[in-house]
Structure 1
């Protein structure tokens, strides 16, 4: 297995696409084991995508793109400006709140970061914000998106680990809102230090806020509908994804009437590209994961970590350091696919709730999309804003510290983060 891992890392350093690096590495494992039928890799690639709950992924990707095509993103931006325009560094605060609102639409931090970079980035730079700070703000606030339902990362973790996706969705609400508050405090402190001024001279009147909320009600209640449907058994996770597509079509065609035939074709094209990339990665990862299980690597890692300590808090901090470092080199989706089967058994062995661990796991891994050298969201935003990686790293410090505060609280106060799923779905 050492040869397989080394080959995988070498291919990544050569710039090979992640999916091909995983697939070739997985095939090398089978070439090392001639006693295993060579047809198994093909079977694994096919069966990996036959997991019924994974149907939620293409459905939510399509629903998110439909909602963007329906004009929901622009309306949510207007609402965010009304809510935060009176604060210092108002456009950055808009980015924070918009990421919370977009969590119920896109479910992908990379999609959110790229969208906000195009919508908010140029205005931030024109109004005097340092380019590195603007890029860091847009990228780091997108970390909120994977915690708010529907989250692609939580769906993957729940499907692989056989954890209730409904409870994971409900559990993502508190850390998402907490991350929003920590980011807003960090931005406010930084803005005072740099002398950034508000966009508005005063707070928006209550009437304007109420009007903006009413205009965005169909988007705001979407995550609520998902949770209610899952809680009362109206939908399975796969069915709720199909409902999301129907809901997005209703909003675009009937409610807002902004989804034209041309924009619908663009939505379908973008969705096919997004879904194809994700599902191909999921299919190929099955080949690599088979070798990990065959070599009993989860058991070896578990025994090693438990030999260090069987204290759940200490183990979580050790895993956190490992995941952040791993995320610097490997895409977050890949890590969820590869590492869930390794770390979830360790977490349950020491008495951690699978939902609590899943929130910690997905949030920590997603930081890898933001950090160099292989941060997809970071590269997307820096490319759009023509920002150097050095400037981005300099502007990231307040956001990185805020994210670490949230993760530390997630480790130390599990009951706080499990309150909503326990309230909705039952539990201790």
Structure 2
């Protein structure tokens, strides 16, 4: 067995016996290095530092801090109220509110687990009280939270941009339309289950125009932040790091001066949470850089290109194969390490056959996110099952229908790349 298969086998074995993913990646890489004498272990720290030595990467803690500052107040409730005023009168309105809130909240949070936990913590108990079955509440929350890292700003998009030297601004706006389409598709499959189970509207009557405007005004300051971020990047006014700093300042003004919900204690808590999240992301990237170094030395990109071209030389077919590979690995590996491991090799394959880097990035992110709700690990489902206090197995009956719909959307953006590339092309 070659080095690359052994590397992946060790990593997956460690993951399945319960070793944290970042340590599984590191242990498997070090084992290969020791037994194959690739590099001297004493230079590993410098290689790990090289992986995070990026100016663009400095934007991540600022985006995370902005999200934390906004989330410390009642912004989530304001977004839910606005969503409810728009569609709460529909049958199964609270389930649709869940999805619409994730679309609006995605620009505020930008990370999948944060979106899932924040929205789920409020809406799963509310849906249970409104008569929804726990399995549907969990699945709707888990799947809709995948919209977060697709609609800008997105930490995953920034990581992909750094690894492939792709424009952050183009990736941000390239994910906007697919994210909205995914939200609409999730509403469609949710409507099917709502009608089948006979759930009633959340609101007894349609909200008045005045109520809609009032709830919009209350939630709009926070939802405007991501718009300023994207516009600043698109027009070249700011760099990604500068846009992150501006997002932090905007969050301080909105939560502190407009909503008047920030206290010193909340700011300190936000800083602590940001420090923890940033440390985890940087640790993952630095350790996975060593893993990627082995892949480079073993000519993994060239071997992968040869393998894929032996099956098909059609760019669309190749992108389908890439999506399948990422989806399968995404069932066991979290999105951050998976993207760090595969972004560069798949980017090389994609550019070799003429796949647009922006389309490739959005497709990889979407597919990796779908893997986070897929058995056997089902990370996002597990988070929300913990909130609902039900076993993961109870969601299996309906989760497959959601997975099918989400994969169909991925295939749609593969077949029609302009869904992703149109906005970047006119910006």
Residue 76 of structure 2 corresponds to residue 73 of structure 1: yes
Residue 223 of structure 2 corresponds to residue 220 of structure 1: yes
Tell me the CA shift for residue 126 of structure 1. 2.2
Q: 1:6-405 alignment to 2 at 5 Å? A: 6-34=9-37, 36-405=39-408
- Give the Cα separation in 2 of the matches to 1:157 and 1:328: 19
- Give the Cα separation in 1 of the matches to 2:35 and 2:243: 42
SS at match of 1:64: helix
Q: Is the 8 A contact 2:76 2:119 kept in 1?
A: no
Tell me the CA shift for residue 35 of structure 1. 5.9
Larger mean CA deviation between 212-221 and 305-314 belongs to 212-221
* Structural RMSD (CA): 1.4
Provide structure 2 residue ranges, at least 5 long, that are not aligned to the other structure: none
Tell me the CA shift for residue 44 of structure 1. 1.1
SS at match of 1:343: helix
- Give the Cα separation in 2 of the matches to 1:244 and 1:212: 22
Q: Deviations over 1:169-189 (max 9, x none)?
A: 011110111111111121112
Residue 8 of structure 2 corresponds to residue 5 of structure 1: yes
Provide structure 1 residue ranges, at least 5 long, that are not aligned to the other structure: none
Larger mean CA deviation between 390-399 and 57-66 belongs to 390-399
Q: Deviations over 1:185-214 (max 9, x none)?
A: 211122111111111233222221122111
SS at match of 1:104: helix
SS at match of 1:15: coil
SS at match of 1:286: helix
> How many residues were matched structurally?
424
SS at match of 1:40: helix
Tell me the CA shift for residue 77 of structure 1. 1.4
Tell me the CA shift for residue 95 of structure 1. 0.7
Q: Is the 8 A contact 2:358 2:420 kept in 1?
A: no
Larger mean CA deviation between 394-403 and 332-341 belongs to 394-403
SS at match of 1:316: helix
- Give the Cα separation in 2 of the matches to 1:231 and 1:384: 38
- Give the Cα separation in 1 of the matches to 2:13 and 2:387: 29
Q: Is the 8 A contact 2:75 2:219 kept in 1?
A: yes
Q: Is the 8 A contact 1:27 1:41 kept in 2?
A: no
Q: Deviations over 1:276-335 (max 9, x none)?
A: 111111111111110010000111011110111111121122222221111111111111
